């Protein structure tokens, strides 16, 4: 719950087709109002990166992905300084808004959890 | 005398009778001996040395990728569980073989055989493990090897003597990058049943066979990767180096199966004394200056051998004197006395027999025999050394010297001698 990805009901909703059909329009409206796509960003660009586990996950991006992320930040920072959204053709398209960092963050969290389990394991002598 | 000499061959044959070589039901060659030790070891030997790599540095990277994440358990789980069991996992690379070894207490063989098999059958080879764990280790090992003049001289000697194949360096280049796809492709090409020999010590043949049948079922039946037959070229090279002793390697190569004559020659010339702090009986020992050292190096491979003398010293003058003494001693072997041949044969027999004592060297000797052909005979090594006499030795040496020498100098190349200055 206090991890970088936060508490999410998304898997539950996606599993149920009926609820998904009702909630998806609200989700689309929310994304538009949030406005990160108008600055050319993706959702995973917004993840809190001042955390050790997210830093490790960022180290696992390919060189191309890391470069594209830096470019998006630079472009969004310039737009923010000018207090203007980007022109419409530079907005992030829904097909491009891929969760590229989420799998890496999840695998890092899994590894950290495994390390904690191994560190606190109770070891018994074999009889 | 005769009784003493015969018993060495007899105990070697006793050792081989304990090894029953069987082609496993899973298609893998297995040999195991149980001498009642408290610990056991299992070695997976693949013909996946630097000779067979398709891109430079892949074999070194694959060796360092050993025991990282598989689909069954992560790298951390492997390490922690092995530590809780109390075992040692190691991997080693030579020019022809890649060895994965697990040493453990008796009774833990199911877990450790499973660790070895799961790396061979389904390792993950993730990009972040290469970047975070494997590449730094490869770079560090290559840097250490490059800063040691003896290692550097030997790597260059192989490159000059054999060019491709055996000439490829064991170590990855310090700054080149191999990517995971290359490593994955190489692993899937060399990890195959007909390319694998499993050697166990302290474990019974049936137990090991049963465990392997269970865990290696999904391994593909790859044959050994292709390799062209080795030819010997020879040549000379000089390399500048600023740390470590001045080094000269004077080498000669032969093609064909390794011969016992060269092993006897190495034992004859080697200044390593059998009694500590004595000078020893080598013909070179008396003429080496104080700060210099000479080592006789004999490296047999499956279809070629490299024989040489590694001369090291603090200054280039010492190296020149020691090198001249070494070369003249080598040429004098043509007139060797029968008594000296007996001494050399005894020394060579002892070093051959003592390799069958140690666990790791036994695994590599036996594994190479298993992988080279159906008839694996360990006692043949010692009996062929016994048969060497003065004429065989002198004819071997004369044919060795006739070929072009492999001459490598590492150090202050302005002052170190050239090949003709040493009499080559």
- B111/B253 same-domain check: no
Q: Which residues of B fall within a CB distance of 8 Å from A60?
A: 127-128, 131
Q: Which of residues 75-114 of A touch B (CB under 8 A)?
A: 111, 114
Which helix (H) or strand (E) segment holds residue B201: the answer is: strand B196-201
The CATH number linked to B314 is: 3.30.830.10
A61 domain-assigned? yes
A27 domain-assigned? yes
CA dist list (Å): B159 to B38, B98, B165, B168:
42, 20, 9, 6
Q: Which of A2-16, B171-185, B329-343 has the lowest mean pLDDT?
A: A2-16
As a 3-state breakdown, chain A gives helix, strand, coil percent values, each rounded to 5, of 65, 0, 35
B335 domain-assigned? yes
Q: Which residues of B fall within a CB distance of 8 Å from A111?
A: 74, 76
A81 domain-assigned? yes
- B193/B251 same-domain check: no
Q: Which residues of B fall within a CB distance of 8 Å from A101?
A: none
Task: Supply the pLDDT for residue B359.
Answer: 83
Q: Report the percent of chain B where pLDDT is more than 90.
A: 62
- B297/B210 same-domain check: no
Number of folded domains that form chain A: 1
A3 domain-assigned? no
B235 torsion bin: left (phi>0), alpha (psi -120 to 50), beta (else): left
- B397/B329 same-domain check: yes
Number of folded domains that form chain B: 2
Q: What integer is the mean pLDDT of B347-372?
A: 84
Which parts of B89-179 fold into alpha helices (H)?
Answer: 109-121, 127-129, 135-147, 149-162
pLDDT 10s digits, B246-299: 999 999 999 988 889 999 999 999 988 888 888 888 888 888 888 899 999 999
Q: Which strands make up the sheet holding B39-46, listed edge to edge?
A: B22-23, B29-33, B196-201, B39-46, B98-105, B87-93
Q: What integer is the mean pLDDT of B127-152?
A: 94
pLDDT 10s digits, B306-327: 999 999 999 999 999 999 999 9
Q: Which residues pair with B294 in a beta bridge?
A: B311
Q: What integer is the mean pLDDT of A115-121?
A: 95
Q: Check CB contact under 8 Å for B131 and A115.
A: no
Q: Residue A92: which domain range?
A: 10-119
CA dist list (Å): B198 to B142, B356, B384:
28, 16, 26
Within B242-383, strands assigned E span: 246-255, 293-300, 304-313
- B247/B194 same-domain check: no
Task: Supply the pLDDT for residue A127.
Answer: 72
Tell me which of A53, A105, A114 to substitute to probe the interface with B (most B C-beta atoms closer than 10 Å): A114
Task: Supply the pLDDT for residue B23.
Answer: 61
Residue B4 — very low, low, confident or very high, per pLDDT cuts 50/70/90?
A: very low
How far is residue B325 CA from its own chain's centroid?
28
B9 domain-assigned? no
Both tokens of B67, joined, read: 């025991």
Q: For residue B26, is pLDDT > 90?
A: no
Mean pLDDT of chain B: 88
Q: Check CB contact under 8 Å for B127 and A60.
A: yes
Residue B8 — very low, low, confident or very high, per pLDDT cuts 50/70/90?
A: low
- B197/B78 same-domain check: yes
pLDDT 10s digits, A74-104: 999 999 999 999 999 999 999 999 999 999 9
How far is residue B193 CA from its own chain's centroid?
22
Q: For residue B7, is pLDDT > 50?
A: yes
- B259/B404 same-domain check: yes
Residue A98: which residues within 8 A CB-CB, separation 6 or more?
A42, A44
Residue B220: which residues within 8 A CB-CB, separation 6 or more?
B188, B191, B192, B193
Q: Residue B183: which domain range?
A: 18-215
Residue B415 — very low, low, confident or very high, per pLDDT cuts 50/70/90?
A: very high
Q: Which residues of A fall within a CB distance of 8 Å from B111?
A: none
- B173/B106 same-domain check: yes
Residue B114 — very low, low, confident or very high, per pLDDT cuts 50/70/90?
A: very high
Q: Which of B165-174, B325-334, B357-366 has the lowest mean pLDDT?
A: B357-366
- B258/B113 same-domain check: no
The CATH number linked to A59 is: 1.10.1090.10
- Say if residues B58 and B183 touch (Cβ distance below 8 Å): yes
Tell me the nearest-neighbour CA distance from A7 into chain B, angstroms.
Answer: 26
Q: Which of B33-42, B127-136, B319-328, B368-377 has the lowest mean pLDDT?
A: B368-377
User: Is A117 touching B (CB cutoff 8 A)?
Assistant: no
Q: Which residues pair with B235 in a beta bridge?
A: B406
- B314/B369 same-domain check: yes
Task: Supply the pLDDT for residue B13.
Answer: 55
B134 domain-assigned? yes
Q: For residue B11, is pLDDT > 60?
A: no
Rounded to whole angstroms, how far apart are CA atoms B354 and B361? 9
Q: Which of A108-112, B92-96, B218-222 has the lowest mean pLDDT?
A: B218-222
Question: Strand B29-33 to strand B22-23: parallel, antiparallel, or no bridges (unpaired)?
Answer: antiparallel
Domain end call among B159, B182, B215 = B215
Both tokens of B174, joined, read: 């310090």
- B207/B240 same-domain check: no
Q: For residue B148, is pLDDT > 90?
A: yes
B255 domain-assigned? yes
Task: Supply the pLDDT for residue A48.
Answer: 92
A4 domain-assigned? no
Which helix (H) or strand (E) segment holds residue B40: the answer is: strand B39-46
A15 domain-assigned? yes
How far is residue B96 CA from its own chain's centroid?
8
- Say if residues A112 and A77 touch (Cβ distance below 8 Å): no
Q: Which of A96-110, B197-211, B311-325, B368-382 has the lowest mean pLDDT?
A: B368-382
A1 domain-assigned? no
Question: Strand B196-201 to strand B39-46: parallel, antiparallel, or no bridges (unpaired)?
Answer: antiparallel
- Say if residues B138 and B60 touch (Cβ distance below 8 Å): yes
Q: For residue B3, is pLDDT > 50?
A: no
pTM of the model: 0.89
Residue B16 — very low, low, confident or very high, per pLDDT cuts 50/70/90?
A: low
Q: Which residues of A fall within a CB distance of 8 Å from B73?
A: none
DSSP 3-state of B90: strand
Structure ipTM: 0.83
A124 domain-assigned? no
Sign of CA dihedral B15, B20, B24, B27: positive
């Amino acid at each position: 719950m206090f991890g970088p990805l936060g508490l999410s009901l998304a898997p539950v909703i996606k599993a149920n087709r009926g609820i998904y059909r009702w909630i998806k329009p609200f989700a689309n409206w929310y994304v538009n109002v949030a406005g990160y796509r108008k600055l050319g960003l993706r959702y995973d660009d917004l993840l809190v990166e001042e955390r050790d586990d997210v830093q490790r996950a960022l180290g696992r991006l390919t060189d191309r992905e890391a470069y594209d992320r830096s470019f998006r930040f630079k472009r969004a920072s310039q737009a923010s300084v000018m207090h203007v959204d980007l022109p419409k053709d530079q907005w992030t398209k829904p097909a491009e808004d891929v969760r590229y960092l989420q799998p890496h963050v999840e695998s890092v969290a899994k590894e950290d959890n495994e390390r904690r389990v191994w560190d606190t394991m109770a070891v018994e002598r074999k009889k | 005398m005769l009784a003493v000499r015969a018993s060495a061959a007899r105990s070697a044959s006793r050792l081989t009778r304990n090894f029953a070589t069987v082609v496993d039901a899973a298609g893998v060659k297995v040999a195991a001996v149980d001498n009642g030790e408290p610990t056991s070891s299992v070695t997976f030997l693949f013909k996946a040395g630097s000779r067979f790599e398709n891109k430079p540095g892949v074999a070194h990277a694959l060796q360092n990728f050993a025991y990282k994440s598989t689909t069954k358990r992560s790298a951390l789980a492997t390490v922690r569980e092995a530590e809780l069991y109390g075992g040692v996992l190691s991997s080693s690379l030579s020019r022809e073989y890649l060895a994965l070894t697990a040493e453990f207490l008796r009774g833990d063989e199911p877990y450790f055989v499973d660790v070895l098999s799961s790396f061979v059958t389904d390792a993950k080879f993730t990009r972040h493990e290469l970047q975070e764990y494997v590449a730094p280790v490869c770079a560090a090992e290559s840097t250490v090897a490059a800063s040691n003049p003896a290692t550097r001289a030997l790597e260059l000697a192989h490159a000059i003597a054999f060019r491709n194949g055996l000439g490829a360096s064991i170590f990855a280049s310090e700054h080149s990058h191999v990517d995971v796809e290359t490593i994955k492709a190489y692993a899937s090409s060399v990890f195959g049943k007909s390319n694998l020999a499993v050697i166990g010590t302290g474990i019974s043949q049936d137990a090991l066979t049963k465990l392997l049948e269970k865990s290696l079922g999904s391994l593909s039946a790859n044959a050994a990767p292709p390799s062209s037959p080795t030819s010997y070229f020879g040549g000379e090279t000089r390399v500048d180096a600023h740390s470590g002793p001045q080094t000269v390697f004077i080498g000669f190569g032969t093609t064909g199966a390794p011969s016992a004559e060269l092993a006897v020659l190495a034992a004859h010339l080697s200044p390593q004394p059998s009694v500590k702090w004595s000078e020893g009986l080598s013909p070179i020992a008396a003429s080496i200056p104080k700060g210099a050292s000479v080592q006789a190096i004999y490296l047999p491979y499956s279809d070629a051998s490299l024989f040489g003398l590694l001369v090291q010293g603090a200054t280039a003058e010492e190296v020149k004197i020691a090198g001249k003494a070494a070369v003249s001693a080598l040429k004098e072997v043509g007139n060797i006395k029968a008594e000296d041949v007996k001494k050399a044969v005894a020394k060579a027999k002892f070093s051959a027999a003592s390799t069958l004592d140690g666990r790791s060297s036994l695994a590599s000797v036996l594994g190479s025999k298993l992988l080279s052909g159906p008839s694996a005979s360990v006692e043949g090594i010692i009996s062929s050394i016994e048969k060497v006499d003065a004429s065989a030795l002198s004819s071997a040496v004369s044919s060795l010297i006739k070929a072009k020498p492999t001459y490598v100098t590492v150090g202050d190349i302005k002052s170190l001698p050239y090949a003709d200055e040493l009499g080559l």
